[in-house]
Amino acid sequence: MWVTLLLISLFLFAFGAMIGSFLNVVIYRSVKGESWVAGRSKCEHCNKQIRWYDNVPLLSFMLLKGKCRWCKTPISITHPVVEFLTGTLLVWWYLGGTFFFRLTQQPFHYVQPLFWLIVGFLLVFIFVADTLYMIIPDEAVGVLLFLTLLYRISLSLSGVMQPLDFVKTILGAMICGGFFFFLWWITKGKGMGLGDVKFAVPFALLLGWPNFIIGVFVSFLLGAGVAVVLLLLKKKKMKQVIPFGPFLVMGLVLTLVWGSNMLHWYLQYL
Ligand SMILES: [Zn+2]
């Protein structure tokens, strides 16, 4: 049992890392406005085509010590980081799906794990694109919004989710989007981008009522904490912009995993 589990986990990690490798290319090319499938990957600096054996997720980065084989230009650390994240995501999904979060009711037995897997990849995509290029692509938010709405509606129609909870979740998403729009408007777009405003809607849909409030709170706490550390280390100046999307993603994930615990802990002190 455990050997099988370990072998499948290893295989899934490798497979997830390959998806991450592809995701890196997709993010880079969508930001640069290039086609996703146009040609093999090239070194951004010397334009030499990257050989397949230099393109093995995680391993190649280590073997090449993070540099291009030909021109020795450093390869962005985001490549192995994304590959590690997506590899871990797939293993977590498999183990979580095997042991924890499976609704027994058909068809959600299969739909739910698949839904969360796609959500996971979209969140990695948003996290990396905003960290590297200060952009939350509309396509990613659009797909996320569409899938999440569809998921919530089907949960509600099949009776897994109570109608009242569904209404609360929709209202919550509108309030959350409105709140971020207000922040964007009052800071004249300096505090956050419109991408964050759009992302706030599926963010609240995913967390539901009242957990999205915890999610927003955690995101701001993380963002403020990191901003203070960067200022103290003099890595950033007061006027430089730090993308907020990555903190929203982190706040979302933390609240998805520990949100109910956080709420109980907080209510104890009221
Ligand atoms: Zn090169």
The string of pLDDT tens digits covering residues 46-105 is: 888 888 888 888 989 999 998 999 898 888 888 899 999 999 989 988 887 666 655 556
Q: How far is the CA of 41 from the centre of ligand 1 (A)?
A: 11
Dihedrals phi, psi of 32, to nearest 5 degrees: -80, -5
CB-based contacts of 263, cutoff 8 Å, min separation 6: 210, 211, 214
Q: Can you tell me the distance from the alpha carbon of 261 to that of 73, in angstroms, rounded to the nearest whole number?
A: 46
Q: Which long-range contacts (CB under 8 A, 24 or more apart) does 129-134 make?
A: 129/27, 129/30, 129/31, 129/245, 130/195, 130/243, 130/244, 130/245, 130/246, 131/78, 131/243, 131/245, 131/246, 132/27, 132/31, 132/76, 132/78, 133/27, 133/31, 134/193, 134/241, 134/243
Pseudo-torsion of CA 52, 53, 56, 59, nearest 10°? -170
CA distances from 11 to 41, 87, 100, 189 (A): 24, 9, 21, 44
Q: How far is the CA of 63 from the centre of ligand 1 (A)?
A: 15
Q: How far is the CA of 124 from the centre of ligand 1 (A)?
A: 26
The string of pLDDT tens digits covering residues 188-218 is: 877 788 999 999 999 999 999 889 999 999 9
CA distances from 69 to 29, 72, 155, 165 (A): 22, 6, 51, 55
Q: Can you tell me the distance from the alpha carbon of 244 to that of 250, in angstroms, rounded to the nearest whole number?
A: 10
Q: What number of other Cβ atoms are within 10 A of residue 172's Cβ? A: 20
Q: How far is the CA of 49 from the centre of ligand 1 (A)?
A: 9
Q: Can you tell me the distance from the alpha carbon of 241 to that of 133, in angstroms, rounded to the nearest whole number?
A: 12
- Tell me the pTM: 0.84
Q: What is the pLDDT of residue 132?
A: 84
Q: Which of 177, 171, 170 has the alpha carbon at shortest distance from 155?
A: 170
Tokens of 154: 């089907």
Q: Can you tell me the distance from the alpha carbon of 129 to that of 78, in angstroms, rounded to the nearest whole number?
A: 10
Q: How far is the CA of 72 from the centre of ligand 1 (A)?
A: 6
Q: How far is the CA of 68 from the centre of ligand 1 (A)?
A: 5
The string of pLDDT tens digits covering residues 227-249 is: 888 878 876 665 567 788 999 99
The string of pLDDT tens digits covering residues 133-188 is: 888 888 899 999 999 999 999 888 888 888 888 999 999 999 999 999 999 998 88
Return the CA Rg of the chain: 20
**Cα dihedral sign for 185, 140, 244, 135?**
negative
* Block residue for tokens 């004249």: 188
Q: How far is the CA of 200 from the centre of ligand 1 (A)?
A: 39
Q: How far is the CA of 70 from the centre of ligand 1 (A)?
A: 5
